[in-house]
Amino acid sequence: MKANAIDIKNWANSNISPLAWKRIVLRTLPTFNEFGFELDQVETPESNLILEGKLLHTVFESVDELYRVEVPAQLVMA
């Protein structure tokens, strides 16, 4: 299971709040750091930043904890 970071960012900022991605990123930053990503790389992700495994799971958890919503299935690739 994987998803493009930009797709999740666009979805969150358009459907939840303009600051949603910023908040999600701050909450998940330690995990992103573990994978070698810095704040600016995640906040403005490049089009080829694919999230999977622990990273994707952490993002999903963060979306749920912060906003009590689920990332739409159509954003997730098999």
Partner 1 sequence: MNKHQYTILYVDDEQSNLRIFRLSFKRHYNVITANNGYEAIEILKKENVDLIITDQKMPEMTGTELLEKTLENNPDMIRIILTGFSDIQSIVKAVNKIGIYKYITKPYDQGELKITLDKALESNKLKLERKNLLEQLEKKNEELEKKVEERTHNLRVLNDRMVESLEYGSLVQRNLLPSEKQLKSAFTDHFVLFKPFDHVSGDFYWFTEFEKAGKNYKIIALMDCMGHGVAGALQSSMAISYLWQIVSRNELTNADEILIELDNVLSEANISNDNSHNSMDGSVVVINETDQTMCFAGCKSDLVYFENGEINHIKGERFSIGSSWNKDEKTVTKHQLDPKKTDSLYMFSDGFIDQMNHDFTKKYGRKQLLETLETIKEKPFSEQNNHLSENLSAWMGKTEQIDDISLIGIKP
Residue in 6, 26, 50, 76 binding partner 1, rule: CB under 8 A:
26
E strand map for 1-78: 2-4, 50-52, 76-77
Binding status of residue 23 toward partner 1 by CB under 8 A: yes
Number of residues in contact with partner 1 under rule CB under 8 A: 9
CB of 2 to partner 1, least distance (A): 26
* The total number of residues written for the chain in this structure: 78
**C-alpha 78: how far from its chain's center?**
17
Instruction: Give the binding site for partner 1 (CB under 8 A).
Output: 17-20, 22-23, 26-27, 29
